[in-house]
Structure 1
Amino acid sequence: MSYNYLFKYIIIGDTGVGKSCLLLQFTDSRFRNDHDLTIGVEFGAKIVQIENKTIHLQIWDTAGQESFRSITRGYYRGAAAALLTFDITRKDTFLSLGKWLEETKNNGNPNMVIILVANKVDLDSQRVVTREEAERFARDNKLLYIETSAKTAFNVSETFIRTGKEVLQKILNGEIDTSTNNAGIKVGGETQKTTLSGATTCCSR
């Protein structure tokens, strides 16, 4: 199947915020309660329609542990977008966002689209990070913002699609040069068969 563009995404954030589950829910419409940790980097892919364009999304789910940080840093450079994810029931995952954002800006390309993803809204009764403070962080750092539940699939597809719309708009506006190697974007070509290399076995809500 041909595509208009290929976009590379990375999903980042602390361990246990649900990065693998967001990927699995998006690519496979499934949720797992298993609490295995991502080892290094996992991969998923999906073809979507955005603004009448066929977009092939390649998504890299990175490990949140510090011990794997040297491995995952290399994936920032070739990404068009990053899903900066935290768990609304764990304040520590919100407080570490500044560290993740700094790492993204230090290692990613300057035109990378970053969306702040507040995950686990199905656990709203246990919420410790308010929507207002999360929106303030996003606004102060010029990030997109969305609230999701990988468990119920609430806003999961919208997260990936909305991010893709922003990337596409930057291409059309001339803000992104698709010919550069580190843009995380490929124009045209043929899609390849892809598999979820381990993404179906690793999940933390």
Structure 2
Amino acid sequence: MAGYRAEDEYDYLFKLVLIGDSGVGKSNLLSRFTRNEFNLESKSTIGVEFATKSLKIDGKVIKAQIWDTAGQERYRAITSAYYRGAVGALLVYDVTRHTTFENVMRWLKELRDHTDPNIVLMLIGNKSDLRHLVAVSTDDGKALAERESLYFMETSALEATNVESAFTELLTQIYRIVSKRAVEAGVEGAASAIPSKGQTINVKDDVSAWKKIGCCSR
């Protein structure tokens, strides 16, 4: 077919959001994952930005649409539209700035106020390459994640450490919830349970299954 582009073909579309204090590296995490780029001179951008990337999970093509707050967090003016339809979120803090870790609970509250209570969440301690400046220990990050039933990973957008793993882990967990729901619907109901191509998935009560297992600290 003329004009056909392979990246337009996917089985599921999942919306993810990036939240956290200004300057923790959200935009660089996004650019590292979607374009394998990092910009030392990156500045806060105004307005909402998003990028997409497709990957294969269990033979299915998953397209992630990842939204970045793009500077709004400085004004605490993130709207409910930003969160609408999100099935996963990466809550990012800077391991070298303890205040960004202290603000995690405020971001978590805002996230839970604006999204389905069972959204799949991952806590990200970014800038792990700056080891000599670390102000938040890995154990503290893990402890908070376990207490709040979050997945947890430390990343470095600069060195590309765990960036791919963090996004892939989050998307894999979301996909497993959705596919499990389709299986539980049974053979007769499977057609209606499996969303049509390109449909955005809203994860509901199915997330409780992994919460019972506990978070995946790394």
The higher-RCO structure (CA 8 Å, 6+ apart) is 1
Contact 1:12 1:64 in 2 (8 A): no
Contact 1:6 1:187 in 2 (8 A): no
Q: Specify the alignment match of 2:197 in structure 1.
A: 188
Secondary structure of the corresponding residue to residue 129 of structure 2: helix
Q: CA deviation at 1:68?
A: 5.1
Q: Percent identity?
A: 39
Segment drifting more, 165-174 vs 92-101: 165-174
Greater C-alpha Rg: 2
Q: Specify the alignment match of 1:65 in structure 2.
A: 73
Q: CA deviation at 1:110?
A: 2.2
Runs ≥4 in structure 1, deviation > 4 angstroms? none
Task: Indicate which of 156, 166, 169 corresponds to 2:163.
Answer: 156
User: Which letter maps to 1:146?
Assistant: M
Q: CA deviation at 1:38?
A: 2.5
Task: Indicate which of 30, 43, 48 corresponds to 1:41.
Answer: 48
Q: Is residue 2:136 matched to residue 1:129?
A: yes
Q: Is residue 2:26 matched to residue 1:19?
A: yes
Pairwise CA RMSD: 1.9
Unaligned runs of 5+ in 1: 176-185, 191-205
Q: CA deviation at 1:43?
A: 1.1
TM-score by length of 1: 0.82
Q: Distance in 2 between matches of 1:57 and 1:129?
A: 29
Task: Indicate which of 166, 179, 182 corresponds to 1:172.
Answer: 179
TM-score by length of 2: 0.78
User: Any idea what the Cα deviations from partners look like across 1:51-80, whole Å, max 9, x if unmatched?
Assistant: 221011111001353425243x32112101
Task: Indicate which of 82, 89, 110 corresponds to 1:82.
Answer: 89
Q: Specify the alignment match of 1:202 in structure 2.
A: none
Q: Distance in 2 between matches of 1:64 and 1:150?
A: 21
Q: Specify the alignment match of 1:114 in structure 2.
A: 121
Secondary structure of the corresponding residue to residue 107 of structure 2: helix
Q: Specify the alignment match of 2:148 in structure 1.
A: 141
Q: CA deviation at 1:187?
A: 4.0
Task: Indicate which of 105, 109, 122 corresponds to 1:98.
Answer: 105
Q: CA deviation at 1:103?
A: 0.5
Greater helix content: 2
Unaligned runs of 5+ in 2: 1-5, 183-194, 200-218
Identify if the C-alpha distance between structure 1 residues 31 and 105 changes in structure 2 by more than 3 Å, giving closer, same or farther: same
Q: Is residue 2:58 matched to residue 1:51?
A: yes
Q: Distance in 2 between matches of 1:106 and 1:133?
A: 24
Identify if the C-alpha distance between structure 1 residues 25 and 70 changes in structure 2 by more than 3 Å, giving closer, same or farther: closer
Contact 1:24 1:30 in 2 (8 A): yes
